[in-house]
Structure 1
Amino acid sequence: MTETRTPFVGQSLPRREDEALITGRGTWTDDISPPGVVHLAVVRSDIAHGRITGVDAAAASEHPGVVAVFTGADLRSEFAAGIPCGWPVTEDILVPDHPPLAVDEVNHVGDGVAVVVATSAAAARDASELVVVDYEELPAVVDIEAALEPGSPLVHEQFGTNHCYTWPLAVGDVDDALARADVVVEGRYVQQRVLASPMEPRAVVVTPDPYGGGFTLHTSTQVPHFVRDILAAICGVSDTKLRVVAPDVGGGFGAKLNVYAEEALALVLARRLRKPVKWTETRSEHHVATTHGRGQVQHMTVGATRDGRILGMRIRLLADMGAYLQLLTPGIAVFGAFTYCGLYDFGAYDFECRGVFTNLTPTDAYRGAGRSEAAYAHERILDDLARALEMDPAELRLRNLHPPFDEPRTVPSGVMYDSGDYEPCMRRAMELVDYEGLRAEQARRRAEGDHVELGIGIGNFTESGGLSPSKVAAGVRLQSGGWEAATVRMTTAGRAEVVTGTSPHGQGHETAWAQITADSLGIDPADVEVLHSDTMIAPFGRDTYGSRSLAVGGSAVFGAAEKVVAKATLLAAHLLEADASDVEFRDGTFSVRGTGGGGITIQEVAGAASLAADLPEGMEPNLTADHHFDPPNFTWPFGTHVCVVEVDTETGFTTVRRFVAVDDCGRIVNPTIVDGQLHGGIAQGIAQALYEHATYDEAGQPTTATLADYAVPAASDLPGFDLEQRVTLSPTNPLGAKGIGESGAIGSSPAVVNAVIDALTARGVTHLDMPVTPQRVWRALHTQTTPKATVA
């Protein structure tokens, strides 16, 4: 009996991408310097709000190496449109004009006013400091709650308001549920602004083609297809004349899920000057000119019975848009609307989000976008509810989890989760961390009067991944996501070439897609070449974000590979002189079922298909297939994260003693890649909980404008992570995959903050906002501030 080979899907094959990256042989956008390239430096506003009354570029124009200086007025005619908002969430949303360079008014520190073109990056930067911009300074507003008060300064005077939109969602009668509740708890939680801080800042190089009138644009982006399509519209270029390439990308985290002014500027100046044009962001520019994440104030109300059964939930959310609407700005907060109910089963749900303009850098996607904020809020208020009920927070959660389901189930927010089995996941996390033992240790240490308090925090979550169906699914319509495309073709030599519309920036697509293809075709992953991130090679694609790559992009690859096998089966049957229904395919070989005779390998079939000397009637040469996969629903990964902290009450310093995460992301293609994604996501969640905060003063001046002020944790600041995975297959795609890229950033921050508060509850501290810095902890302990979560 022939032994069946072990599938490659499920194995921790080494990432094929890593060797070049860790040996310095990667190619980043800043490495690309075409002959004759000129460099851009953007002159940026140093005030938060003001009218431009004059721009004096005389001194800059005379600086050595300067080719030209352009203002917004100079380049106005080069643009067919401004930077677009791609997700207007309501029909009456207010969308301000957003020119790539400000013409009349600046609306945040970092707003571009002019651009200097020079023969070197240093000359361009030096000359940019010589451009003198005169302003009539206007009042600025930086606080989203204050921005809605009567008489507040207006970011965009023509609107007469800072209110951008209101988006509601109501399921059931929340007023009745809260009226029937024995306990009603209210909380106000703040999602501070954070920066993506990728290792590689943004960069773009545009090269005019030597003939044909087209352009090749290299850019550090997550979304080369979006960049092509949107820049074509902004700059009045045919999309067939614009090739966009994302070379190696040093991290994105949502900040590179956008189309930026600098990309548009580089393109129009390459067109005007007929020269290659290059711009590389400085780290200081990143802090003011690249989108920020989060920026919300969350008002939560939950009602429950005395035995801890949740009856209803109300969410009132204020979301900071910043000064403009970037690609997905208004939709980020709205996207979280469907998961504020978390893993919990109850009857009534009422959500309302108001978007608010401020004179700050625009917000947009950041790892876990919308879902991280939702998980933070529902896990914070569940701990507040547990305290009000004098119930263990784990027990409260266990009483409210959905029962197991392997087919779509409607949840309180009205959407349909794909599948879930929550209680075993949570209990396993509690077992791994020794929850009961920790509670006993906590009680013992408190009895002994230890000044270092022990705290345990839980972060349960689910998220809407697999972004996303093109049609309305689960009651949700998005302006992004949708289908994904792939092509699989076998060469004459019998190897496979995969073209994918997804664009990786650290996710390991080349390795995972090779594993999927190898299993389908019965070949070795080493014989699979994966091509991506180039709109000339992969003209169709929806790119990478929202934990969609495997569930949508991987499923497209799987579908294309299966089509190749189906065609190869017909040709193999012809070559074996058998009926196709009698031919079976196993481990890369076609054979006639029940004959016991020899077979023919898929490599031999590929060779015959290429030679085309003996094809069945009507069959075209070569083994190649395209496939578009459009999912019927989102996927809904879930998990339980448990954080154990020790808080020194004399210094306020928090030490994360242990962090356990049990996640369910559906079928796992490569366990090591899953662990890597979780490591990175958990690190970012801990960073938001304890360290990071993009702050401004009252005039809109950034007070964390460099990495000397903005606290990004180092590896030495983080604990080791104890990870375990469970598998609940998703019915929404043929792989059964759900996604893992954002899960770590969703479950971790509430687990950390809940742990710190749990440590301090006995000392009267029941509320802290992120980041939970030593100073905040010390002040809370010594001022005994009034808790912001209250029992009504």
Structure 2
Amino acid sequence: MSIETIDADEVPIEEVLGSAVKRREDPSLITGRAEYTDDIQRPNMLHMAATRSPYGHAKVGDIDTSEAEAMDGVEAVFTAADFDVPGEIPVGWLLESLRTPPHPILASERVRYQGDAVAVVVADSRAVAADAAQAVDVEYEQLDAVTSPGDALAEGAPTLHDEDDGNVAFEWELGDAEKTSAAFEDADEIVDIDLVNQLLISNPMEPRATVAEYDAGSDDLRVHMTSQNPHLHRLLMSGVIDHPEQKLHVRAPDVGGGFGAKIHHYADEALTALCARELERPVKWVATRTEGFQTDAPGRGHETSARMALDADGHITGFEVDTKANLGAYLSTFAPAVPTYLYGTLLSGQYDIPAIHVEVTGAFTNVPPVDAYRGAGRPEASYLVERIVTQAARQIGEDPAEFRRKNFVDSDDFPYQTEVAVEYDSGDYEKTLDAALDAIDYDAFREEQELAREDGKYLGIGLSAYIEACGLAPSELAGQLGAQAGLWESSLVRVHQSGTVTAYVGTSGHGQGHATTFSQIVADELGIPYDDVEIVEGDTDEVPQGMGTYGSRSAAVGGSALVESARKIVEKSREIVAHQLEADAEDVEFDHGTFHVAGAPEQSVGIQEVAGAAYLAHDLPDDMEPGLEATSFYDPDNFVFPFGLHAAIVSVDPDSGEIEVERYVAVDDVGNQINPKIVEGQIHGGVAQGIGQALYEGAQYDENGTLLTGSLQDYTVPKAEQIPELETESTVTPCPHNPLGVKGVGEAGTIAAPQAVVNAVTDALQPFGVDDIEMPLTEERVWRAVEEAK
């Protein structure tokens, strides 16, 4: 049943945190008053378009720009030779064995994926710029291409960079190989599986876009862009285009979805800024949908072989994984982290596995640079674990729910140290399993399934016991693992003299509801009305420092930074009240916005009164500065680990391959919930994307590296009627090491859903002996699987 929202003015201050307050962002978004990057107009503004390679792999010869330059309305045409800047996209995560070939903002000698840019045109209209970009004449010598990691790592494959080193980007391993090998030697049962986790294109509603303005008098460069982390973009761009960081202002206006694709630093943003600086006029670039398909960083792209060892009682004793990961043509910003530390560290799942060893080989291929897509490594790990666990239960003839239950980490064993580096904070996995089984009436379904098979109808149920790691931290650990940035978050909370509040935070929301949830946090901590709080983020001039929004980090890290700043304000206010009431600060109590001396509640002072006194500064404690604001940099002690159990029921027609998702139950534990309605919305969106991967989505390339699914006519994004009505429930296991007890929810549905659906389909097809079908489970693939099994 859907959660009902509440008007903020109907919620008492002491209940604002945890209430389903209506999102304050929505009125502007649904009435067209929001400002997206393409809405920004400037006098005398120019438009940029790129000349992109039609080939997946080719040498670049002469580039003739004369026809484009001669066109009416064209202001300039630039190639790589025209920019005297470093001009290479940096890598933000390093591994010990990592190869880092140059990643130029414009290709000059070789293009390595379809869409790789070789020139940009700047003109007085978008249409003229696009036409002129097509008029640039480029001489190409087409080369052989390779698009899958397995093929790229095979002997004799065409190489993308240094011919002597092949296409290996890195080789990485985690876990105890010797201990894992011993587990297989002693195993009573061994389960094998080969899986492909296909490349996905993120397809946010708003394409990537940039508007750049340059003031030659002050040397200030202002860049508006579709960003999930403006401060990181400012830092990286300053190096790429050689512009002082303090003179570079990056702002993210309203952003129409990101899903990871707007984390990374792309050449297009740097080129827009360079053109604006070179021409001293505002320049706008907006990707077409085709450019988005060709150049947005895709996600996933794993080919994996794995084995699981079981003892005679069906307990998991060992897990061995070998993965080949697609990295694309160049290394994107955080690409090396995704198939290593965001993937390998989650391979214990919800299970007590005493021996694990994983090897990952990263491969360069002729597809766009691959990076984070909603979930980023965690979905790939969960898909593998939950598919092989399902197969293990089948192989030994055990119910998949009970197999999971007996292998779960026990609730008394938290914090739980896995064999793949991470320590789970808290959990109760049986509770979510039981809630899902009760909601779906598992035993009754199994009876219905048997009766349906007698009538020629094939129903299946699929379980997904997922876990994810969010709020990656602490910064010291991240640095040891290869991160070239801290993973803290900053906040500044300012109580104005009138008692209203502006809170600045370094995250950068793009649909998650930060203005709502962060206001709830600050209102609760300070005990002031929710409507008196304003949230500012996504602007490097307004917020001095920040690390952005990705990896479900905003509440756990950004929200905790706001708590820390708010509590500093409360402590300063306590000292002011103690001074004015001639009491010891230790004796002054604070309760939902009001201070009073212990035992004398009739003598109370509201925090908004304190704010007036703090700015008036007529009667403050000795050596206290006027004003009432506080800054914090919050660096968590550990990741947070949300978890849950999702269950899908499907019907499958073996004669046509048609699949219908009849029910979908999601039971999630994301710790304490700031706003249950927003949690529900995040689960819904994530599940929709997960079902999309299971049944519909997948980037496909031909042997020349040409994208075959380059439009919404060819790449299927699920529509509303293809998503069932979702049934959501939750349990609450607070995180013990952040002040809010939150865990993160933004990626949970995407991590859980694919394997729930695939497990359900293969369960439905057990009478035919079908145990695996490669995603997406198209009607043809399902039909072929049944026919081959026959």
Q: Name the TM tier (shorter chain).
A: over 0.9
| 2:261 is the counterpart of 1:279 | no
Provide the C-alpha distance between the structure 2 equivalents of 1:578 and 1:406, rounded to a whole number of angstroms.
Answer: 46
Give the letter aligned to residue 397 of structure 1.
R
Deviates more, 1:235-244 or 1:66-75: 66-75
1:461 aligns with 2:469: no
> Structure 2 residue aligned with 1:419, among 426, 439, 450?
426
Which of residues 437, 442, 449 is equivalent to 1:430?
437
Contact 1:188/1:300 (<8 A) preserved: yes
Q: In the TM superposition, what is the alpha-carbon distance from 1:406 to its structure 2 partner?
A: 7.7
The code of the aligned residue for 1:387 comes to: R
Amino acid at match of 1:235: I
Which residue of the other structure, out of 142, 153, 160, is the alignment partner of 1:155? 160
Match of 2:382 among 375, 378, 402: 375
Please give the residue correspondences for 1:269-418 in structure 2 after superposition, counting only pairs within 5 Å: 269-334=275-340, 335-405=342-412, 407-418=414-425
CA distance in 2, matches of 1:474, 1:659: 40
Name the residue aligned to 1:176: 182
Q: Does 2:117 match 1:112?
A: yes
Paired residues of 1:473 and 1:632 also in contact (CA < 8 A) = no
Give distance in 1, aligned partners of 2:516 and 2:49: 37
> RMSD of aligned C-alpha atoms?
1.5
> Structure 1: which amino acid aligns with 2:35?
T
CA distance in 1, matches of 2:694, 2:560: 35
Which of 616, 619, 635 in structure 2 is aligned with 1:630?
635
- Structure 1 contact 471–477 (Cα < 8 Å) conserved: no
Q: What are the equivalent positions in structure 2 for 1:614-625 lying under 5 Å apart?
A: 614-625=619-630
Q: Which residue of 2 aligns with 1:185?
A: 191
Q: 1:262 is matched by which residue type in structure 2? A: D
**Bigger CA drift: 587-596 or 117-126?**
587-596
- Partner SS state of residue 459, structure 2: strand
Amino acid paired to 1:588: G
Residue 480 of structure 1 and its aligned partner are, at CA, apart by: 4.8
Q: What fraction of aligned residue pairs are identical, expressed as a percent?
A: 45
1:667 and 2:672 aligned: yes
Structure 1 residues 290-329: Cα deviation after superposition (integer angstroms, max 9, x where no partner):
1001111011100102321000000101000110001011
Q: How many corresponding residue pairs?
A: 778
Mapping 1:371-770, distance limit 5 Å: 371-405=378-412, 407-448=414-455, 450=456, 452-472=457-477, 478-480=483-485, 482-770=487-775
Instruction: For residue 321 of structure 2, give the secondary structure of its aligned residue in structure 1.
Output: strand
Length-normalised TM-score, structure 1: 0.97
- Secondary structure of the 2:304 match is strand
Q: Secondary structure at the match of 1:599?
A: strand
Classify 1:406/1:763 alpha carbon distance in 2 versus 1 (closer, same or farther; 3 Å).
Answer: closer
**Match 1:89 to one of 77, 95, 116:** 95
3-state SS in 2 of match to 1:173: helix
Please tell me the residue identity of whatever aligns with 1:209: D
Tell whether 2:227 aligns with 1:233: no
CA contact (8 A) 1:222 1:505 kept: yes
Please report how far the alpha carbon of residue 95 of structure 1 lies from its aligned counterpart in structure 2 after TM superposition: 1.1
| Structure 1 range deviating more: 490-499 or 298-307 | 298-307
Identify the match of residue 17 of structure 1 among 22, 25, 32: 25
Query: In 1, distance between residues paired with 2:127 and 2:158?
Result: 38
> Is the 8 Å Cα contact of residues 467 and 481 (structure 1) preserved in structure 2?
no
User: Matched residues in 1 for 2:12 and 2:222: separation?
Assistant: 47
Residue identity in the other structure for 1:30: D
Residues in 2 aligned to 1:755 and 1:454: alpha-carbon distance in whole angstroms: 8
**Residue ranges of structure 1 left out of the alignment (5+ in a row):** 786-792
Q: For 1:208, which of 214, 217, 221 is the aligned residue?
A: 214
Counterpart residue type for residue 272 of structure 1: E
Structure 1 distance, partners of 2:222, 2:323, is 42
Cα distance, 1:89 vs. partner?
Answer: 2.0
In 1, Cα distance between equivalents of 2:607 and 2:119: 59
Is the contact made by 2:327 and 2:363 (CA closer than 8 Å) also made in structure 1?
yes
Deviations 1:73-113 (A, max 9, x none): 222x1x224001111222x3111111100011100100001
Indicate the residue corresponding to 1:219 in structure 2: 225
Distance 1:475 1:7, change over 3 A: farther
Match for 1:181: what amino acid? A
Task: Give CA deviations for 1:736-762 in whole Å, capped at 9, x if unaligned.
Answer: 111000011001110000001110011
The answer (yes or no) to whether the contact 1:695–1:702 under 8 Å persists in 2 is: yes
Contact 2:492–2:565 (8 Å) recurs in 1: yes
Cross-structure match for 1:63:
71
Report deviation, 1:160: 3.0
Alignment partners' CA distance in 1, 2:620 and 2:217: 40
SS in 2 for 1:772: coil
Q: CA deviation at 1:31?
A: 0.5
Q: 1:337 to 1:680 in 2, by over 3 A?
A: same
Q: In 2 relative to 1, CA 479–426 (structure 1 residues): closer, same or farther, beyond 3 Å?
A: farther
Correspondence 1:46 to 2:54: yes
Query: Is the Cα–Cα contact under 8 Å of residues 226 and 253 in structure 2 kept in the other structure?
Result: yes
